[in-house]
Amino acid sequence: MAEEEDNTVKCGVACYYPRWARRLANAKLFCVVWCLTILTQTIAGAGLLTAVLSSIETRFQLESKDLGMIASAADIGSVLGLLWLSYYGGRPGANRPKILGICTSIFAIGTFAFGLPHLMTPAYEVTSGGPANGTQEMPKDVCTSNQTTSTTCAANKGSSSSPYGGVYAVLLFAQFLQGIGIAPTYPLGTTYVDDHVTKKALPFYLGFSYITYGVGPSAGLFLGGYTLSRYVDMDKGVDPAALGLSPGSPLWVGAWWLGYFVMMGTLGLVAFWLLLFPAALKKPMEENENNEEDGNKMLPGTEAQEPPSTFDPAKTLKQQAKDIILGTKKVLTNWLFMCITMAFVCYNASGSTGPFIPKYMETQLGMHNAQASYLLGLVFLPSALFGLFASVAILRRFQLGPRGCLYLTTGASVLSLVILVPAGFISCPRPPIAGVNIPYGHSLTANVSLGRLPGGIALTSPCNADCGCPLDRYRPVCASDGITYFSGCHAGCRESQSIQGPRGIKLANYSNCGCVTSNPQSITGGSTKQLSGTQTIMAAKEESTGYFASVWATPNPENFTPDGVTDAANRTEARTVTVTSEPNAYTNLPSSVQITPSTSAFSIPCPTKCIASRSFLALLTLNLVCRAMIPLLLVVASLRVLSPDTKTFGVGLQSLTTRLLAYIPAPIYIGALIDSSCELWSSSCGVRGACLLYNMPLNRLLFVGVQALLTAASIILLCIAIHLYNRREAAEGKSQAPGLTTRDIATSMGSLASSIPSLTNVGVRNRNGYM
């Protein structure tokens, strides 16, 4: 018997099972490898995706609803994969570690496939029609009379109307594979650990895995922030400085693909380790029967009992089908459980804005993508873990029953909604952009107010009507009148000179700009003041944010040098003109500027000063703490209102309902809502691309409003659930809550964790649950 058990518990792969490796076949080592699997999958599937979606949108000219579909594709794969993988993984004799290893390999393939579009496509073109190779040059972007794009469009006539349609399909398929690969990670891993550790030790192992789920998305955001600070075509010999690009430029696209290739190798290594584990390990020795019973209790005061299974594998297919119908009817007519389930659906749907948070911070707070990813990672980890641990501590300290869980969940949801509302009013003012929020031909005078123009965006004016300016990219320039123009062409500039700026970045100095007012003015204390001087518009580093600050990242930058001129005697000396800093309506203007001769411009947006991001991040942190408390409380409440024979089936049905009604559709319709706030779409040869400019108030209203409505719906459903529970308790005379075991918690948390988005409801979403 001992020899037979020794042969079963063997560690290796294929035909190689060395005897020395058997000592490695233990539950502790498996738990380490399992947690590494969770960590790598959540980094690649949750945090990294959230960080890079905005860059993918810019790179491949996708819409927000396309991004939502990409985010949902993993859940579609998860639903399909979970059905049969859990079935085969739960069969007697199934080698669960090898199933996990195979699925992790599938996840690694999906991770590689997600980065594949970078290898499939030529170098990123900063301007349409430009050369797509390492010899790209900084675009001239000047006004040429009767300029059209017909030549370029005629050359591409034979191409598809959607040049990146194939890329979009690859991204969807890659996410689908990731969904299949991650589906069994938690259910099979949990049951394997449960079978091979003592009941007393099981909560420690499961708790460690929960912490790993919290760390993964945050690590993915940090990794995404690092890779996005590198240029997308760093491997193709393209120098971003030669193109006038830095990480904060509106045209910048970071190396979104780099993190996926790094994680592919890590996932492959972890998958190999999983394949080495045997189908079974040596059974643990329980200290005594009393310890086993005590270890089975997740919450003090509950009876540990193993609920009977709803379905018996020994029954015939017809009998099992009958059990499914009866079990479904019993669960669906449990109105209390269904209210909790629908509240859970609304909670997760409201969290599906998570993948769009970096994009929202770019739009409303003027951050660049890498900066937003870093900040989200920094905020997310401590907040999510604090909220999760707080919910566990409260559950154990006060021994909460279903009513207590529902009350606490309702309170956390109300507080989350209260925090969410003021967040919808936080935004940085958009700088004056000609044709967007200030008419052409107007200077910054006291009687001009910035706002949406009556006729909407009008980038064409008599001063640039004959230029035929393209709308494929947003290339802002700051003119000597203090106004930002959509591009040098839209400013009516006829000439441009490439100059060497700080950090080796080539910038364009435009001149002879027909749309720029000849007498630049500034507001100081409600009155206008003439500015004199020559050379470029420049702001002090400490008074600028966003792209402007990223260009002047070094203190006391040297004067610009015309491209190719190295003789210091030929450098143009800049003259600084100080403008008195007094309270005024245009606080985004710097107090110290250097300007060019009249009717000239510089190839960066005018600087802005905004500290609203601090308030936003503070509210985000509080909101995330509240949201992180909710999932476990709802899981406990759900288990306690189900009868023992319907617990497993009820939790499975709740998980399926949440995926079908929240995880899959929510990112798509939220993306469509974001698209509806777009004021100006990029266009190349008549094909619509990504959004260039959003209606900022409408964007805030829709983005925060949809979260507030779904959160409010969840609160209403929770109130109904409390009412139904009180009625049930009054009818029964005394609460008879079924026992809550550690296995119940593991099963329910596994249903949350088996989907990529749900990894982040306790984390990035619950990828998705900031605000």
Looking at residues 122-132, what average pLDDT do you find? 64
State the chain's mean pLDDT as an integer. Answer: 76
Closest to 642 measured CA to CA, from 733, 731, 744, 726: 744
Give CA–CA dist 420/425, Å, rounded.
10
Mean pLDDT of 13-23: 64
Give all domains of the chain, ordered by start, each with its CATH number: 2-12+23-125+168-275 (1.20.1250.20), 317-427+612-760 (1.20.1250.20), 430-609 (no CATH)
pLDDT at 372: 92
pLDDT of residue 706: 96
Highest mean pLDDT among 286-295, 338-347, 656-665: 338-347
- Directed axis angle between helix 64-89 and helix 185-196, to 10°? 30
Q: Is 594 helix (H, G, I), strand (E, B) or coil?
A: strand
Taking CA atoms, 19 is separated from 6, 16, 25, in Å, by: 10, 10, 11
Question: Tens digit of pLDDT for each residue in 141-181?
Answer: 888 876 555 555 655 554 445 567 789 999 999 999 999 99
- Amino acid (1-letter code) at residue 682: S
Length of the chain equals 771
Burial 452-469 (b: 16+ CB within 10 A, else e): eeeeebebebebbeebbb
Does 575 have pLDDT greater than 50?
no
Q: How many other C-beta atoms can be found within 10 angstroms of the C-beta atom of residue 643?
A: 15
Query: How confident is the model at residue 74, as a pLDDT?
Result: 92
| Rounded-to-integer distance, Cα 474 and Cα 481, Å | 20
- What is the per-residue pLDDT for 158? 47
Better-predicted residue by pLDDT, 441 or 27: 27
**Mapped to the 3 state alphabet, what secondary structure does 359-370 carry?**
HHHHHHHCCCHH
Q: pLDDT value at position 622?
A: 95
Residue 565 — very low, low, confident or very high, per pLDDT cuts 50/70/90?
very low
For residues 131 and 124, give the distance between their C-alpha atoms in angstroms, rounded to a whole number.
9
Identify the residue with better confidence: 325 or 448. Answer: 325
What percent of the chain lies above the pLDDT cut of 90? Answer: 33
Contacts by 382-385 with C-beta closer than 8 Å and gap 24+?
Answer: 383/621, 383/624, 383/625, 383/628, 384/214, 384/218, 384/624, 384/625, 384/628, 384/762, 384/763, 385/211, 385/214, 385/628
pTM, entire model? 0.81
Q: 760, 217 in Cβ contact below 8 A?
A: yes
How high is the pLDDT of residue 8? 56
Nearest-5° angle of CA 613, CA 616, CA 622? 140
Residue 128 has pLDDT above 70, yes or no: no
- Interval 489-494 mean pLDDT: 90
CA-nearest of 148, 440, 97 to 272 is: 97
Mean pLDDT for the stretch of residues 40-45: 94
pLDDT at 239 over 90: no
Residue 39 banded pLDDT, cuts 50, 70, 90: very high
Residue 225 clears pLDDT 90, i.e. is over it: yes
Residue 676's pLDDT band, with cuts at 50, 70 and 90, is: very high
The predicted structure's pLDDT at residue 700: 94
Pairing verdict, β 561-562 and 538-539: unpaired
What is the pLDDT at residue 716?
A: 97
Please report the pLDDT score of residue 200 as a whole number: 78
Quick one: which of 55, 62, 277, 44 has its CA closest to 177? 44
Confidence bin at 322 (pLDDT 50/70/90): confident
Q: Using the 8-state DSSP alphabet, how is residue 243 labeled? A: G
Q: Is the pLDDT of residue 753 over 90?
A: no
Cα-Cα-Cα-Cα dihedral sign, residues 662, 664, 669, 671: positive
Is the per-residue pLDDT at 492 higher than 70? yes
- Rounded to an integer, the average pLDDT of 687-707 is 91
Which residues 6+ apart lie within 8 Å of 25 measured at CB? Answer: 9, 10, 11, 277, 278, 281, 282
Q: What per-residue confidence (pLDDT) applies to 754? A: 42
pLDDT tens profile 344-376: 999 999 999 988 999 999 999 988 889 999 999
Lowest mean pLDDT among 354-358, 496-500, 574-578: 574-578
pLDDT in tens, 241-279: 888 888 888 889 999 999 999 999 999 999 999 998 888
